[in-house]
Amino acid sequence: MKAHKESRLLREPTVAAAGVRLLSDALRAQGIAVIDASWEPPPEGAAPSLSRVAADLRRLEANERAVQAMIESKPEVVGVTTAGDALGLEPRQFLHSGPPLTWEEASGPLRGALVGALLLEGEAESPADAWEICERDRIELFPCHSRGAVGPMAGVISASMPVYEIRDEVNNHVTYSNLNEGLGKVLRMGSYSNEVIKRLRWMKTNLAPILDDAFKRHGPFDVRALLAQSLQMGDEGHNRNRAGSALFLREMAAHIAQCDYTNSEIAQVFQFIDGNEHFVLNMVMPTAKAAADASRDIPGSTMVVAMARNGTEFGIQVSGAGDQWFTGPANTPSGVLFPGFSDVDINPDIGDSTIMETYGIGGFAMACAPAIVRFVGGSADLAHQKTRQMYEITLAENPYLQIPSMDFRGTPTGIDVAKVVSTRILPAINTGMAGKEAGTGQVGAGLVQPPMSCFEQALVAVAKSGFEK
């Protein structure tokens, strides 16, 4: 110990500098080691807002209320219904992921998914026919979030599609998502080939009624408990749902087996779930949305309650600013591509699945899933670094969702736009990557960042709102 102490005194000093480079450059010129911290002053527009909200003690209380509401939400799957019944959709009305946009603004995978949905609804005879209907402005588009729903990737939900009904008894609130189709050539990635439509039809006629029946036998299915388990089993809940999907099947198998269908029809359901490591994604997403919705509309709160992308823009919503979207151009993810694809094939960021990061898991809980780095690219250490960084932009640690390798520390929960703007640390997001061209399907998986401007705009809006009721 003594030797160690002495040697520290004898070491040359290292200077850590933040802000303008004038000081640190001067030191470097004198041969002194300097580490520059990544801090930058907030941009001109956001700076006054940042000082204003930072100085307002009411924000602390508002954010505490917001994050506690998110943490204490306890969503459960109660059954499977249809989007027409539950969300009031007509045959030519479609939900999509992310903030609002028009057909003209839509990227390839969203256009492909809309073409497929028109075919599924029997509103078009062929892909060309469907395309023309869209071009002639004969469809209506709404964000999933505007109807209490979320959808991965293109997020297209049409009237006859089955949807999970998720109920949060704590807040007497209901959310929805469609059913996951599996990997590769699937509607949510923009594919609309015959196999895609055929699979979606089977999901309506067989999978949905069997699951609904099984949920009714089982009783409400506690999704937060499932997530808590799966985070201890190598999942991060967004891009890796292998444990969650297996645990779901384990718990539901006896109830599925008792449905009044033939052995072979039941076996098909098991085979379908076995073949899809992301099966529970469409249950955990509306769970995260239900939790985030519990934090909405708290005056003065700078906490993020939605992050979502439509393939063109990235948008966020903030508790203290109602349903307003704050958007910026969607970045293009980078990661590991499937064989046969290159960087030019990747569509800009798309999907409501960033609701998982909004809830404090996914990219925020990468430390749970060292194996994910082999899927999205990067090292096991990167996974821990990302998670550690996310504690700097969040308000709390979720005691129900823990990270075993960090000694069961709670996941970093409740993104504060004020913290994002002041630290310049952006939320870490794991994501699937869709092909740019309509009809391509999935091309890989990777990491992506939201544009900083969304957070700056949101901060300005909350500051302006001045905590009025």
29 touches a second copy (CB under 8 A): no
Q: Determine phi and psi for 222, rounding to 5 degrees.
A: -75, 100
What burial letters (b/e) apply to 69-81, b meaning 16+ CB within 10 Å?
bbbebbbbbbbbb
Nearer to a second copy among residue 13 and residue 340 (C-beta): 13
Of 104 and 260, CB closest to a second copy: 260
- Name the residue nearer to a second copy (CB basis): 124 or 226: 226
CB of 32 to a second copy, least distance (A): 10
- Counting DSSP H helices and E strands in the chain, the numbers are 18, 17
- Cβ proximity to a second copy: between 319 and 402 the closer is 402
Rg of the chain (C-alpha set): 23
The minimum distance between CB 366 and a second copy, in angstroms, equals: 12
Among 7, 38, 102, 342, binds a second copy (CB under 8 A): 7
Cα 141 to Cα 109: distance, rounded to the nearest angstrom: 15
Q: Which of 11, 44, 136, 469 binds a second copy (CB under 8 A)?
A: 11
Distances (CA, A) of 35 to 7, 13, 38, 219, 426: 21, 11, 9, 56, 21
Shortest Cβ distance from residue 236 to a second copy (Å)? Answer: 12
Residues 266-325 that bind a second copy (CB under 8 A): 266-268, 270-271, 273-274
CA distance 111 to 117: 10
- Min dist CB 368 to a second copy, Å, is 9
What's the DSSP call for residue 167? E
In DSSP terms, 410 is beta-bridged to 402
- Residue among 407 and 468 whose Cβ is closer to a second copy: 407
CB of 417 to a second copy, least distance (A): 33
Shortest Å distance, C-beta 282 to a second copy: 17
H helices present in 44-182, as ranges: 47-55, 57-72, 83-87, 108-120, 127-135
> Which residue type sits at 320?
G
Judged by CB under 8 A, does residue 39 bind a second copy? no
CA dist list (Å): 253 to 40, 219, 221:
53, 14, 13
Q: Which is nearer to a second copy, 110 or 280 (CB)?
A: 280
The whole-angstrom distance between residue 179's C-alpha and the CA centroid of its chain comes to 16
Nearer to a second copy, 250 or 469 (CB): 250
User: Could you tell me the smallest distance in angstroms from the CB atom of residue 276 to a second copy?
Assistant: 10
Smallest separation (angstroms) from a second copy to the CB of 169: 24
The minimum distance between CB 277 and a second copy, in angstroms, equals 10
Orientation of helix 223-231 relative to helix 242-257, angle to 10°: 140
Residue-by-residue DSSP string for 39-83:
--PPPTTTHHHHHHHHH-HHHHHHHHHHHHHHHH--EEEEEEEEH
Of residues 218 through 277, those in contact with a second copy by CB under 8 A are 232-234, 242-243, 245-247, 249-251, 253-255, 257-260, 263-264, 266-268, 270-271, 273-274
The span from the CA of 353 to the CA of 363, in Å, is: 11
What distance in Å separates the CA atoms of residue 311 and residue 371, rounded to the nearest whole number? 27
Number of residues that bind a second copy (CB under 8 A): 47
Q: Which of residues 372-411 bind a second copy (CB under 8 A)?
A: 379-381, 404-405, 407-408
Contact 92, 119 (CB under 8 A): no
**Nearest approach, Cβ of 216 to a second copy (angstroms)?**
15
Looking at 9-17, 128-136, 322-330, 357-365, which segment touches a second copy (CB under 8 A)? 9-17
Nearest residue to 281 (alpha-carbon basis) of 165, 177, 141: 177
d(CA 51, CA 248) in angstroms, rounded, equals 47
Instruction: In whole angstroms, give the CA distance from residue 372 to residue 375.
Output: 5
The window from 4-12, 178-186, 317-325, 358-366 that contacts a second copy (CB under 8 A) reads: 4-12
Residue 136 interacts with a second copy (CB under 8 A): yes or no: no
* Shortest Å distance, C-beta 214 to a second copy: 10
Question: Which positions lie near a second copy, rule CB under 8 A?
Answer: 2-4, 6-8, 10-12, 14, 33, 232-234, 242-243, 245-247, 249-251, 253-255, 257-260, 263-264, 266-268, 270-271, 273-274, 370-371, 379-381, 404-405, 407-408
